[in-house]
Amino acid sequence: MDPPEEEGRVTEISFDDFDEVWEEDDAPAVPSPREVLQSQARAPAEVELTRDVRAPRVRDADFTRVGVLGVGSFGKVVLAKQKTTGNLYALKFVSLARLQDRKQFDRALDERAILATLEHPHVVKLHFAYRVPGHAVLGFEYCAGGELFHHLCKQRVLSPRATAFYAAEVALALQCAHEAGVVYRDVKPENCFLDSRGHLKLGDFGLAKSSVRSPFRGAHSVCGTPEYMAPDVLARKPSGYGTAVDWWGLGICIYELLTGLPAWYTSDRRKLFDRIRGAPLRLPPSIPSDAGACVAALLRRHPRQRLCALNGADELRTEAFFGGVDFDALILGALTPPIEPCTNLARPAHRANFDGKFTTLPVDTPVEGSLPDFLAGDDALATGWEFVRAV
Ligand SMILES: Nc1ncnc2c1ncn2[C@@H]1O[C@H](COP(=O)(O)OP(=O)(O)O)[C@@H](O)[C@H]1O
Ligand SMILES: [Mg+2]
């Protein structure tokens, strides 16, 4: 059966008609985030001790809210200043009343648990997580440059040089996630944030799944943003799909940064999926040949033939399109980004790179309804959500 039709290009969808099943060779070598949270829930004394010794608890009262940055699927993202330090953070409020089922709740727990373990210059840093009535809150480093999508809309297309630079930073972030056994599943310019200097941070791990250690199997949910979904996700094979789907997402992103639209774009959802599954890839003449070759290699439908599927970002080093990117210098943060998003660094709290339809919203985050039944008495949320990154 085909998925339902929907208009628009950036909605995330999720068709969860597959139960997540482990196959023998995909069994997790490390505990899943949920297991980690549950074990924390069983040992509150230990958690309490760790928290007190290494870092003080973080509470809502510690912050002055500056303004809204964006609105996600489950609530507002608010820029806030920590009263004692003056540090700025992006607080992502997840409204518990909006979670419709256990699966969505598990995804929120996964986002918190995965980001707590990842540490990489191109992955948005989760500094802390706390609870308020009605919401679970994630405290991220503030990426003052806004979404890469915002800059793409402003410039219409990016130059091949700028595209290669940002694609390389995304690739390093994906490699870090994959090495930790995490498939990201939502690569798109809206989820790529720029810091004040213009370096890219991959954010929004709301669809990420842990304990996926194979490029080709281990995940089964048909989820993602339609335009960026790989044919292996749409195929719904019993063996599922693996981390190779993220390299497909990178291929679609590179195409979009160079042309302004994702490959095979149409607002007709059924046509879009048909094209992703089987239409020839048409590269407009504006795409340089080395870029076209790289995009075509990332958009190989068979995941085993897809560029980067087996050896990750290292495979990009020999691509002519990335010839101008010194990956070693990039990892060290030694390259100057092509976009300078915050020309007035004297005012770091400015929200000039965020959409006025969000920045003018009130900063309050009222309780939106009663707690869903499936959350009643859930230990993981009560004791396992809180987190402070050790410094
Ligand atoms: N750390 C951050 N710094 C700056 N803006 C952010 C940050 N995190 C989120 N945002 C803004 O909020 C929007 C929604 O957050 P996101 O995590 O993508 O939520 P959702 O999972 O609902 O898409 C982002 O697209 C971005 O504009
Ligand atoms: Mg998002």
Q: How far apart are CA 389 and CA 324, in angstroms?
A: 35
pLDDT(391) > 60: yes
Q: How far apart are CA 75 and CA 135, in angstroms?
A: 9
Ligand nearest to the CA of 112: 1
Whose C-alpha lies nearest to ligand 1, atom 22? 72
Q: How far apart are CA 282 and CA 346, in angstroms?
A: 45
Residue 280 Cα to ligand 2 middle (Å): 29
Q: Which segment of 16-20, 81-85, 108-112, 184-188 scores lowest on mean pLDDT?
A: 16-20
3-state secondary structure of 214: coil
pLDDT(25) > 90: no
HSE value, Cβ hemisphere, 13 Å, CA-based, for 122: 23
Q: How far apart are CA 161 and CA 171, in angstroms?
A: 15
pLDDT(295) > 80: yes
Q: How far apart are CA 117 and CA 126, in angstroms?
A: 9
Find the angle CA(183)-CA(186)-CA(187) to the nearest 5 degrees: 100
Q: Enumerate residues lining ligand 1, CB below 6 A.
A: 69-70, 72-74, 77, 90, 92, 124, 140-143, 147, 190-191, 193, 203-204, 206
Predicted confidence at residue 19, as pLDDT, reads: 29
pLDDT tens-digit readout, 129-141: 999 999 999 999 9
Q: Say if residue 114 is exposed, middle or buried (CB neighbours under 10 Å; 0-12, 13-18, 19+).
A: buried
pLDDT(103) > 90: no
- Of the pLDDT bands very low, low, confident and very high (cuts 50, 70, 90), residue 344 is low
- Of the pLDDT bands very low, low, confident and very high (cuts 50, 70, 90), residue 375 is confident
- Active site positions, annotated: 186
Average pLDDT in the chain: 87
Predicted confidence at residue 376, as pLDDT, reads: 78
Residue 76 Cα to ligand 2 middle (Å): 11
Contact 132, 367 (CB under 8 A): no
Q: How far apart are CA 195 and CA 2, in angstroms?
A: 39
Q: Which segment of 5-19, 83-97, 101-115, 216-230 scores lowest on mean pLDDT?
A: 5-19
Contact 144, 350 (CB under 8 A): yes
pLDDT(40) > 60: no
Residue 10 Cα to ligand 1 middle (Å): 13
Give percent of the chain above pLDDT 70.
Answer: 83
Query: Ligand 1, from 77, 89, 138, 143: best to mutate by most atoms within 8 Å of Cβ?
Result: 77
Q: pTM, whole model, 2 decimals?
A: 0.88
- Domains and their CATH numbers in the chain: 30-143+355-388 (3.30.200.20), 146-331 (1.10.510.10)
pLDDT tens-digit readout, 157-215: 999 999 999 999 999 999 999 999 999 999 999 999 999 999 999 999 999 999 999 99
Closest C-alpha among 1, 9, 5, 20 to residue 229: 9
CA dihedral for 332, 335, 339, 341, sign (positive or negative):
positive
Residues 6+ apart with CB under 8 A from 282: none
pLDDT(53) > 50: no
Which residue, chain included where needed, has tokens 């309804």? 369
Whose C-alpha lies nearest to ligand 1, atom 17? 204
